[in-house]
Amino acid sequence: MIKGFIFDLDGVITDTAEQHYLAWKRLADAMGWHFDREINEQLRGVSRMASLEIIADHNNVQVDDPTMMQWAAEKNEQYVRALDEVTADDFLPGAKELLTHLKREGFKVALGSSSKNAKKVLQQLGATPFFDAVADGNSVKNSKPAPDIFLYGAKALELKPKECIVFEDAESGIDAAKAGGFYSVGIGPEERVGHADVRFDSMKAATLFEVKSYFKELF
């Protein structure tokens, strides 16, 4: 029986990919590196340090860890500043409706995000009250595709993986959900999240009615 839902944040509840892109772009420009939206796509769901490693690899940059950490901190400063502009208008279409619906029906809801800034994003959106638990980049050591973030979220909800549906927009996020034994809903194109149990093009299409219709025997 499904008793809970675990949501990724960036790309599912709100779309912060653009703010991440602009912050990385600013660092890349300052360093004289190549960085474009195609590379940015590869950073979906990937932790901050792993993202920087991907960008550095593209530019054949190899430096020591303290330097990498300094660059990541600079990017983050820029990103956090941009988050001040996020408001309650920035839910992805359909996301707030789904969260409202789930609360009304008494489901438990957790966040499962790789971001260390997740709580700030929830606050900016005014979304904090929708979540019974928050699992984020500060909660666990291994990020997606490891299942740790979702397992942490399920435990906080006092639920087993098989009692939860995970919503994810990243390939590594669906991998993480599957590795943890969760049911999964992919948000986005077939080539990215086609391996989810069920896929929708957008959150607007992923209504509770549609999700329940797909996982019929579990409700």
Show which residues are catalytic: 8, 10
Task: Let me know the angle formed at the C-alpha of 77 by 113 and 15, rounded to the nearest 5 degrees.
Answer: 40
Q: How many residues sit close enough to ligand BG6 to count as binding (CB under 6 A)? A: 17
Peptide bond into 93 cis (omega under 30): no
Give the up-direction half-sphere exposure of residue 3: CA atoms within 13 A in the CB hemisphere: 11
Taking CB under 6 A as the rule, does residue 76 contact ligand BG6?
yes
Taking CB under 6 A as the rule, does residue 20 contact ligand BG6?
yes
Output the six-digit token pair for 59: 């530019």
Taking CB under 6 A as the rule, does residue 10 contact ligand BG6?
yes
Taking CB under 6 A as the rule, does residue 51 contact ligand BG6?
yes
Q: Report the relative pairing of strands 4-7 and 164-168 from DSSP bridges.
A: parallel
Distance between alpha carbon 182 and the CA centroid of its chain, in Å?
16
Q: Closest distance between ligand BG6 and the C-beta of residue 209, in Å?
A: 27
CA 154/CA 164 separation, integer angstroms: 7
Q: Closest distance between ligand BG6 and the C-beta of residue 96, in Å?
A: 18
The stretch near ligand BG6 (CB under 6 A) out of 28-36, 54-62, 114-122, 147-155 is 114-122
Output the six-digit token pair for 3: 């008793």
Taking CB under 6 A as the rule, does residue 48 contact ligand BG6?
yes
Taking CB under 6 A as the rule, does residue 43 contact ligand BG6?
yes
Contact residues for ligand BG6, defined by CB under 6 A: 9-10, 20, 43-48, 51, 76, 113-117, 137
